[in-house]
Amino acid sequence: MRSSIDRLTGLAHLDSNSLTEEISFLENVLDRLLHTSRISNDAYLAAGAVQGGLSMLGDMIDIGISRSEVQEQLRQLLERAGRVDESHPGLDEAIEERRV
**Which candidate, 60, 77, 78, places its Cα nearest to that of 69?**
60
What is each CA distance from 81 to 15, 21, 30, 75, in whole angstroms? 20, 18, 14, 10
Q: Which residue has the higher pLDDT, 100 or 98?
A: 98
Taking only the tens place, the pLDDT of each residue in 36-66 is 999 999 999 999 999 999 999 999 999 999 9
Write down the mean pLDDT value for the chain.
96
C-alpha span between 84 and 49 (Å, rounded): 9
Taking only the tens place, the pLDDT of each residue in 75-93 is 999 999 999 999 999 999 9
Residue 100: its pLDDT value, please?
Answer: 81
**Which candidate, 55, 100, 51, places its Cα nearest to that of 80?**
51
**Which candidate, 88, 80, 11, 12, places its Cα nearest to that of 43?**
88
Q: What is the pTM of this model?
A: 0.91
